Amino acid sequence: MAGVPIDKRAGAPLQRLLKDAARDGVKIYGSNGYRSWGWQRSLYQSYVNRDGRAAADTFSARPGYSEHQTGFAFDAKAADGRCSLESCFAGTKSGQWLAKHAAAYGFVVRYTPQNSKVTGYEPEPWHLRYVGTWLTGYLNETKLPSLEQAFKMPAAPSY
């Protein structure tokens, strides 16, 4: 995706997703792909300074724990910029299209109201993680709301 670094294994599925969304009249842009440890540290620390550690831990990963550091995550934005990186993104045409179609391309909307107690994060309807179509199919078939549950991992990071 132009200007947003993402692992090449997720790149082709992401390009198909964006092309098909545009074909359906939904223009989606990406931001915040891969982040280095240093970038994540700076971002997280800015939230800690502003809101305190306990609050920051509900919406920002500590350095070394961010999905963005894997290169398989990106943040989606609507073309009009409405609700960018806000919970109201779920109600936008872009957010609704992604919630309905992302799995077909191997992406999951990672942090939802249904899994926030398990993930430890507030809902982020804009945050997508590439996991492949086999795993998205399994999640849909089993109705498991989180990767943690699919992999039988403990709930919420305790650092």
- Catalytic residue ranges: 124
Burial 12-24, CB ≥16 within 10 A → b, else e: ebbeebbeebeee
Interatomic CA distance for residues 137 and 43, integer angstroms:
33
Are 32 and 75 within 8 A, CB to CB?
A: yes
Q: How remote is the C-alpha of 47 from its chain's centroid? A: 18
Give yes or no for a contact between 147 and 67, defined as CB atoms under 8 angstroms apart: no
Return the closest-CA partner of residue 39 out of 14, 72, 69. 69
Element (H, E) at 108: strand 107-111
